[in-house]
Amino acid sequence: MNLNDKSTILITCGPSLSDYTKVEVEALGYKITGSSDVGVEIKGNLHDAMRLNLYLKTAYNVLLLVNSFPCDTPDELYKKISKMPWEEVISPDEYLSVVGRIDTPSIDNTMYAGLKVKDAIVDRIMKQTSRRPNSGKERNNVVLQLYWKGKTCKLYINTSGQKISDRSYRKTMTTAPLRESLAAAILMAAGYDGTQPLVCPMCGSGTFPIEAALAATKRVPALLRSNFGFMHLKGYDETAWGDMRAEALKQSKKRGKSGPVPAPIIATDIDSWAVEAARRNAQTAGVDHLIDFQVCDFAETAIPETPGIVLMNPEYGMRMGELKELEETYSRIGDFFKQKCPGYTGYIFTGNMDLAKKVGLRTSRRIIFFNGGIECRLLKYELYTGTKKHKS
Ligand SMILES: C[S@@+](CC[C@H](N)C(=O)[O-])C[C@H]1O[C@@H](n2cnc3c(N)ncnc32)[C@H](O)[C@@H]1O
């Protein structure tokens, strides 16, 4: 089992994010060989998987295909997996977990299938080395991922372990924070590139301003993280990882020193605790000096004169907030856009289109995203000087 050989790499992502993941993957020089709503495929080896883990911001996991084979029963699954030379890639000192998804008439219990995979690998390593790796649910070490669809099993090594979308900067939580990968994709959809001011009233835990500051300075969030699934594999090349990290660090430093200085990023929220949380999270991410934080009602947010992007994620009544009050808030957002943000491009990310109508301005684009299973829209407003009120 040689992880340096080219195989299929499946990069998973949240529903509706694969177009953004594709853009990131192609920018790294890879050719897309397949895609779905929740994933992108390329050809590559463990080295490529490490690189993808380092640079991707909109993805969940980077999975390296180990084997794909026909399979009818759990016993056949066990037999076929125990014939593979796992001792070449997993040390008996490691801890192993197996996750998966099955869609086959052969078996209806994902956990049982996972157990069969785990037993096959652990028994194989025990036979070959006389030692048995530990196993369980923790995803901090070696993670195997099984997809069993119909009569075909695909077994991947999850080289990320924990999702790469879970950055390690968000130590302080507030209510209803956006997943970081979703915020990164929304900023891409809004065309944010760090050259224009970004105003984020209702910043909550700071996901938008922090992701924006990282993007504007080409800082790679994965540099903040010290553990990935691939680090627990026998073929892991620590020197190569160190070189990749150094290269990523050099790029961000170059941008900070000689490249364009990011335009102002402003983050405000009416809740002082949220602003404090956002500030702390930005500190952990190393970008607090790039963000101007303030506690205030969104309508009082100071808007830089040079036009840019104003991006808001108001509550939408599913998880917090009362609808009646929110109607008033959305209507006030329309007034704020119209009166205080002429020349800007306004964006509202919401899961409630009835509330969005209360904004009272014409949208120029509506982009679908899913947030926690809820279909949402990123609504775009061109805020010309003297924007007229229109029905949405
Ligand atoms: C859905 S949360 C935003 C979550 C954020 N995108 C994140 O990732 O953490 C909405 C935020 O709007 C803030 N908010 C509600 N009413 C506000 C107002 N009138 N002015 C400013 N902020 C307000 C809340 O305090 C809350 O933090």
> How many whole angstroms from 371 Cα to the centroid of ligand 1?
16
More confident residue, 322 or 340: 340
Domains of the chain: total: 2
One domain for residues 329 and 378: yes
One domain for residues 100 and 185: no
One domain for residues 39 and 136: yes
Whether the CB of 141 sits within 6 Å of ligand 1: no
One domain for residues 333 and 296: yes
Order the strands of the 95-103 sheet from edge to edge.
34-36, 39-44, 7-13, 59-70, 152-158, 142-149, 95-103, 134-135
> How many whole angstroms from 301 Cα to the centroid of ligand 1?
13
One domain for residues 42 and 188: no
Of all protein residues, the one whose alpha carbon is nearest to atom 7 of ligand 1 is 177
Residue 257 in this model has a pLDDT that exceeds 60:
no
Residue 392 in this model has a pLDDT that exceeds 50:
no
Q: Is the residue at 250 inside a domain?
A: no
pLDDT of residue 318: 59
CATH of the domain at 105: 3.30.2130.30
One domain for residues 72 and 153: yes
Q: Is the residue at 132 inside a domain?
A: yes
Q: Is the residue at 21 inside a domain?
A: yes
One domain for residues 210 and 142: no
Q: pLDDT band at 9, cuts 50/70/90?
A: very high
pLDDT tens column, 88-142: 999 999 999 999 998 888 888 888 899 999 999 999 999 999 999 999 999 999 9
> How many whole angstroms from 392 Cα to the centroid of ligand 1?
22
pLDDT tens column, 51-86: 999 999 999 999 999 999 999 999 999 999 999 999
Q: Is the residue at 392 inside a domain?
A: no
Question: What is the average pLDDT across 2-24?
Answer: 96
Whether the CB of 207 sits within 6 Å of ligand 1: yes
Q: Is the residue at 270 inside a domain?
A: yes
Q: Is the residue at 78 inside a domain?
A: yes
Please indicate, yes or no, whether the overall pTM of this predicted structure exceeds 0.75. Answer: yes
- Which residues of the chain form beta strands (DSSP E)? 7-13, 34-36, 39-44, 59-70, 95-103, 134-135, 142-149, 152-158, 198-201, 265-269, 291-295, 309-312, 345-350, 365-371, 374-382
Domain assignment of residue 199, given as a range: 180-217+262-382
Q: Is the residue at 109 inside a domain?
A: yes
Q: Is the residue at 192 inside a domain?
A: yes
